[in-house]
Amino acid sequence: MTSNDRAIALAPAAVEELQAAIGAEHVCTSAADLDRCSRDTIPWDSRCAAVVYPGSAQEVSAALKIANAHKLKVWPFGGGRNWGYSGTLAPEDGAVVMLLHRMNRIVEVNDELAYAVIEPGVTYEQLNNHLKQHGHKLWADCTDGSSQGSVLGNALDRGIGETPYGDHFGNLCGMEVALPTGEIVRLGGGNNGPKTWHLHKWGIGPYLEGMFTQSNFGVVTQAGLWLMPEPEAYNSYVFEVKDERNMPHVIDAFRQLALAGIVTTKLHMINDFVSLTVLTQRIEQHRTGGGHLTPEEVAQLRSKYGVSPLTCAGGIYGTRAQVRLQRAILRKALGRYGRLLFISDTLLSVIEKVIAASWKSPLLKKVTETLAGTSLQILDSAPHVHRILQGIPTDFFVKHAYYRSRRRRPDNAIDPARDGCGLIWFAPILPFTSHDMLPFLARARQRFEEAGLDFWVAMLLMNPRSVTCLMNILYDRDDADETRRAEALYAVLLADMQAAGYQQYRAGLLAWGKVHAHAPELLRLNERIKAALDPENVVAPGRYGIG
C-alpha cells in the first residue's frame, strides 16, 4: 500500500472553509505537501490530510473553529524541525498539520529590559540576525540543532540550549494562546497585557503558561522571551577528559560548580561517538552494514581524529575580572581531571586563521595538530562551540544526523527528515550525580551494543540538580532489520528507564503512550483539563498521552 492509496481526504466543505478563512494558497493538499509533512527520522508511518499555514492568531482561531465544526484533528507546529522526536508526524493518518511559518514577526525588542516578543514562526537564525542587524546588545539562546528551528516551538516543547538562558521555557514570559475552541487569551493579563506582561513571569492569579507546554491544550501564537545582555567579557571552554576513570570526579565537580553558581551554562558533556558523528559518516569507514563499531575501530577513530572519551563545553560571562576569576576557579576544580582550554574572542580569531592556513598546508596541518594535541577536524568545531555559547546558531552539529545514512551528507540545507536519515532521540533526565548517572549510562551502552548500534550520549545540564542524558539512536533507514532493531532499542531503553524510576524530559510520539504509565492520577487530571478546554478533542489528540 503506498501512502497515496491510503490518504484520508478532508471533507470538501472543510477545505473550502479553511481556504476562505486563511487563504486558498495557505491550505495545501497536494501529494508533495502531504509527503513533506508525513515523514520524520523516526520509524513511524502516518500520513496527514492537509497542511495549513495560518498567518495570524485570528487565523489560527478561525481554523480551530472550523476544526471543531468538522471534527478535524489539528496538529500545530512552530517550525516542524523537531526531528527525531516526531517532527510534524501525528500518530494517526488524517491530521491537519498546522505550520506557523508565516507567523514570523518579531513584535518587539526591548534593550533596556532585555526581552523580545516573537511569534512561533521566528527561527533562531532570524532572531539572531535581527538582533545583530539592529545593533541590539542582546543575545538570544539557541540550540545546537537546526538554525531553522522555531524559537517558540522549541521552548514550548521545553527544549534546552546553551547559555545561562538555555532553559527555553524558563525564559518565556507572557504568552498569547488560541484555545482549542478558538478563544484568544493573553495569559497573565488583559487584551493589551499589563506593562509587566513580559517582565514578571508569574502574572497574577493562577500561573497557566506551563499548561501550554508539552501539551495539546492550545496553540501559542505569541510570547515574550528574555534575552541575555551582552556581557563585558566572555570565554568559551572545552574540557577534554582522556582517562575515563575520572568520569565520576568530573560529574561531581561540575555539580558542585553548578550549585555554587560558577557553571551557569547548559554544560554539554559528550562521549567520543558524538564527536565522531559530527566529524564523519559511517560510509567513510567503509561500514555500510553490521553492528556497532568495535573497540578497536573506536580506538583507531579516536586516534585519527584526536577525540577524547568525554568532551565538555561551556561558557563563562561577566566583567573581565569575573571571567578571569571563573577561569581560575574552573582550573582549580577540574584541571587535574583533563585538559581545559579557554577561548576568548581574540584567541578565536587566531585559531580561525591558523585553521584556515593549516587546511592549505599539510606541513602546517601537522604542526598545528601536534601542538593542539588533536585533529584539525576537531579544531574546526571550536568556532562553532564558541559562537553557539553566544547564541549564534549553526548547522555544524546537526550534521551528525546523517552518520548512518548511505548517502553523503549535504554541506548546507541540512534536513535529515527529507534525506531519509534514521534518528530517534531518547532523552531521560537524571539526578546530576555520578552514582545515578554512571550505572544508568553503562546499562544503556550495553543495550545499544546488544542492538548492534553505537552508543551516542550527550549529557546536558538542565539545572544544577538534574541532567538530560540525551541519547541518539542513529540507524540506517534503508536497512529494514536495523530499523527494527532501532525501534526495539528505543522500547527497551524506555522500559529500563521507567524501571529505574526515571522519566524523559521530552518525548516524541513513540513514547507518548507511556508518559503516564505510572501516573494514572496525573493522566486523569490532564484529561479533565483537556476535556474542559477541548471538548471535541481537535488539537493534537494523543500528544504526550493526552486526549
Per CB under 8 A, contacts with a copy of itself among 514-543 are: 515-522, 524-526, 528-529, 531-533
| 102 CA to centre of own chain | 21
Q: Which span (60-68, 305-313, 405-413, 461-469) binds a copy of itself, by CB under 8 A? A: 461-469
Pairing type for strands 172-178 and 219-226 reads antiparallel
Q: Is 11 in the site for a copy of itself (CB under 8 A)?
A: no
Q: Is 359 in the site for a copy of itself (CB under 8 A)?
A: no
Q: Which of 29, 56, 129, 196 binds a copy of itself (CB under 8 A)?
A: 196
The grid coordinates listed for 413 are 540545507
Q: Is 31 in the site for a copy of itself (CB under 8 A)?
A: no
Tell me how far apart the alpha carbons of residues 206 and 192 are, in angstroms, rounded to a whole number.
19
Q: Is 195 in the site for a copy of itself (CB under 8 A)?
A: yes
414-433 binders of a copy of itself (CB under 8 A): 429-433
Q: Is 248 in the site for a copy of itself (CB under 8 A)?
A: no
Comparing CB distances to a copy of itself, the nearer of 322 and 483 is 322
316-335 binders of a copy of itself (CB under 8 A): 317-319, 321-322, 325, 328-329
Comparing CB distances to a copy of itself, the nearer of 165 and 396 is 165
CB of 464 to a copy of itself, least distance (A): 7
Comparing CB distances to a copy of itself, the nearer of 227 and 279 is 227
Tell me how far apart the alpha carbons of residues 394 and 237 are, in angstroms, rounded to a whole number.
18
105-164 binders of a copy of itself (CB under 8 A): 112-115, 158, 164
Q: How many CB atoms lie within 10 A of CB 499?
A: 8
Q: Is 194 in the site for a copy of itself (CB under 8 A)?
A: yes
Q: Answer yes or no: are the C-beta atoms of 457 and 425 closer than 8 Å.
A: no
Helices (H), 260-319: 272-279, 295-305
Tell me how far apart the alpha carbons of residues 116 and 223 are, in angstroms, rounded to a whole number.
8
Backbone angles phi, psi at 522, to 5 degrees: -65, -40
Residue with cell 580569531: 349
258-277 binders of a copy of itself (CB under 8 A): 259-261, 264
Q: Which span (14-22, 270-278, 409-417, 456-464) binds a copy of itself, by CB under 8 A? A: 456-464
CB of 318 to a copy of itself, least distance (A): 7
Q: Is 186 in the site for a copy of itself (CB under 8 A)?
A: yes
Instruction: List the one residue out of 224, 228, 230, 229 whose CA is nearest residue 116.
Output: 224
466-485 binders of a copy of itself (CB under 8 A): 466
Count of residues interacting with a copy of itself (CB under 8 A)? 94
Comparing CB distances to a copy of itself, the nearer of 273 and 432 is 432
Comparing CB distances to a copy of itself, the nearer of 201 and 287 is 201
Q: Is 87 in the site for a copy of itself (CB under 8 A)?
A: no
Q: Which span (59-67, 93-101, 379-387, 513-521) binds a copy of itself, by CB under 8 A? A: 513-521
Q: Is 438 in the site for a copy of itself (CB under 8 A)?
A: no
Give, in order, the Cα–Cα distances in Å from 114 to each of 154, 226, 275, 449, 503.
20, 6, 34, 47, 34
- Helix (H) or strand (E) segment spanning residue 27: strand 27-28
Q: Which of 7, 179, 364, 492 binds a copy of itself (CB under 8 A)?
A: 179
The residues facing 429 across adjacent strands are 468, 503
Q: Is 442 in the site for a copy of itself (CB under 8 A)?
A: no
Q: What's the alpha-carbon Rg for the chain, to the nearest Å?
A: 23
Q: Is 58 in the site for a copy of itself (CB under 8 A)?
A: no
SS3 content of the chain, % helix, strand, coil (to 5): 40, 20, 40
Helices (H), 236-314: 247-259, 272-279, 295-305
The grid coordinates listed for 356 are 584556515
Instruction: List the one residue out of 420, 481, 467, 540 whose CA is nearest residue 83.
Output: 420
Comparing CB distances to a copy of itself, the nearer of 480 and 525 is 525
Question: Which residues, other chains included, contact 411 with Cβ-Cβ below 8 Å and sequence gap of 6+?
Answer: none
Q: Which of 9, 11, 69, 204 binds a copy of itself (CB under 8 A)?
A: 204
Q: Is 504 in the site for a copy of itself (CB under 8 A)?
A: yes
Q: Answer yes or no: are the C-beta atoms of 236 and 389 closer than 8 Å.
A: yes
Q: Answer yes or no: are the C-beta atoms of 287 and 479 closer than 8 Å.
A: no
Q: Which of 187, 220, 414, 489 binds a copy of itself (CB under 8 A)?
A: 187
Q: Which of 55, 503, 509, 539 binds a copy of itself (CB under 8 A)?
A: 503
Residue with cell 550505572: 439
